[in-house]
A = this chain, B = another copy of it.
């Protein structure tokens, strides 16, 4: 990690880059390598990287700390606090049971009931850990157990199917919303550094809906065929859901407030471009309502370690990436790379680099690490080859999520679903590869076609 930074320092500095700029690149490189290798956790690495910019005289204290006044960072924090309320009040669980009662009488329908829950929550809850791992996973495992499907010989009855299905669907849902997963907001910000324009909430939702819904139809059916559950009929699931709902009773005051707040927040996000509202202000409003009404307690917010972790690494990374830009390094890289891919037709550069980017995910333990390391250089290269900028950033942003299908460590909920122990690593990787190739093809054909239709091909 430190070595990689020193290596950069030893290289000759290209024309037009200052000594401080080159040091900045060295620190950034060391941080990214550190965030991948993780000798200590990623959050600490990023904080150390940011501090090093101060010690090395690259950024002033004020300039470095401005990382934590970034509005996108606060958007994520506010949204994670709201996610916590979704888990705590039981509203997410209630939603899942409602879906299961309605369509959970067969195992495929049961799967779709939980996919539907994930999809609805994905429109507001940007923590896929909270959504998929915190709300859906406990229900899925308890239902599998209700059908006497435990890890081991009985795993094939129901559990193994649900684990793979629900993880693979969550990956698709991650790609469908700006709030699909926390680092989508990071990519939206990185996209702005490449094209001058970030990807908005409504814009992402419209871009994602066609290939996303199609993938959610195809991938589950494919998994149902390739990796079927022994139990096909699950009337007990619907019964259990009904009993759970009866026990829960009517919507509590807290759940009602939370539901209203979520509808308000999603509504304001969708209409934000007309109302000229900032996403963060909307999220802070939602968070404030939850604190004021006592739906979210301060103690719970303080012990929400994910929020603080994301706050630190996210703020730090956004600041470091912005600093690269300020020192002219991103522009210099674009110039240099324009020469490299100069002769290629842009479609070839686009396809080749997207493919490399996608399968490179085997080497990353999180979407964030992957996107931080590769999003800017790859999209810059593709745009330099002449590809339409918005098409490029939207594609790379969506594919950054889809590639998480490949492994059992690709994004936060992956180790949770895999770790339940129903599926061997071989099966997980084989099905993951099949699902990933399927979504790659769907998003690469129908998706790109849809985006061109939306006018991003210009």
Which chain A residues in 35-92 approach chain B with CB under 8 Å? 40-41, 43-44, 47-48, 51-52, 54-55, 61-62, 65-71, 74
Which chain B positions have C-beta within 8 A of A302?
43, 305, 308-309
Q: Interface stretch among A123-131, A245-253, A284-292, A443-451?
A: A284-292
Number of interface residues, chain A, beta carbon within 8 A: 39
Chain B residue nearest in CB terms to A2: B292
Q: Interface stretch among A146-154, A165-173, A293-301?
A: A293-301
**Bound: A299/B41 CA distance, A:** 8
Is A9 an interface residue when CB atoms closer than 8 A count as contact?
A: no
Which chain A residues in 185-239 approach chain B with CB under 8 Å? none
Chain B residue nearest in CB terms to A74: B65
Taking the nearest CB of chain B, how far is it from the CB of A287, in angstroms? 8
Q: Give the copy number.
A: 2
Taking the nearest CB of chain B, how far is it from the CB of A288, in angstroms? 5
Taking the nearest CB of chain B, how far is it from the CB of A188, in angstroms? 17
Which chain B positions have C-beta within 8 A of A284?
51, 54
Q: Which of B52, B65, B68, B298 contacts A40 (CB 8 A)?
A: B298
**Bound: A234/B70 CA distance, A:** 56
Which chain B positions have C-beta within 8 A of A292?
40, 48
**Bound: A40/B287 CA distance, A:** 14
**Cβ–Cβ contact A44 & B298, under 8 A:** yes
Which chain B positions have C-beta within 8 A of A303?
303, 305
Which chain B positions have C-beta within 8 A of A65?
69-71, 74
**Cβ–Cβ contact A48 & B281, under 8 A:** no
**Bound: A287/B301 CA distance, A:** 24
Chain B residue nearest in CB terms to A42: B298
Which chain B positions have C-beta within 8 A of A44?
291, 298, 301
**Cβ–Cβ contact A298 & B41, under 8 A:** yes
Taking the nearest CB of chain B, how far is it from the CB of A137, in angstroms? 22
Which chain B positions have C-beta within 8 A of A62?
69, 71
**Bound: A61/B66 CA distance, A:** 13
Is A425 an interface residue when CB atoms closer than 8 A count as contact?
A: no
Which chain A residues in 102-141 approach chain B with CB under 8 Å? none
**Bound: A65/B54 CA distance, A:** 21
Closest 9 A-B residue pairs measured CB to CB?
A69-B69, A41-B298, A44-B298, A302-B305, A65-B69, A68-B68, A66-B69, A51-B284, A44-B291
